[in-house]
Amino acid sequence: MKGRKTLSIAEYELPITIHEEEGTFIAQCPKWEDCYAQGNTLEEAINEISYVASSLIELYQEEELEIPLKLKSSSEKPSNNIRFTFPLVVSN
C-alpha cells in the first residue's frame, strides 16, 4: 500500500497517590514532580492526571527529555484496523 502509516503505541506505568483536601481530590505521581492534577471527585482527579501525564509525555518527547516513568511496552501497528487493550480505571 502506498503511504502506509503506522501508529506507535507506548504503555507506561503511572503510579499515583490521591489525597483529599477540603473537598478536592489531589492526584500526584511520586516519580514525576511535574505530573499532578486535582478534581472535585476521585474519578475526575484520575481522569485529569491521566490527561496531564499524556500531555507531559508528548511535551517531553518533543523536547527530547527523559520521561521518568517505566515503559511497560511499546509497539508499532499499521494505522488501519488497530486493536489494543486500553486500561480503564473505575472507582466504586
From the number of C-beta atoms within 10 Å of its C-beta (0-12, 13-18, 19+), residue 42 rates as middle
Most distant CA pair in the chain, distance: 57
pLDDT for 32: 95
Task: Evaluate if residue 30 carries a pLDDT over 80.
Answer: yes
Task: Evaluate if residue 1 carries a pLDDT over 50.
Answer: no
First-residue to last-residue Cα distance in the chain: 46
CA distance 17 to 45: 10
Architecture of domain 10-78: 2-Layer Sandwich (3.30)
pLDDT digits (tens, 9 = 90+) for 57-78: 999 999 999 999 998 888 776 7
pLDDT for 73: 81
Strands 17-21 and 24-28: antiparallel
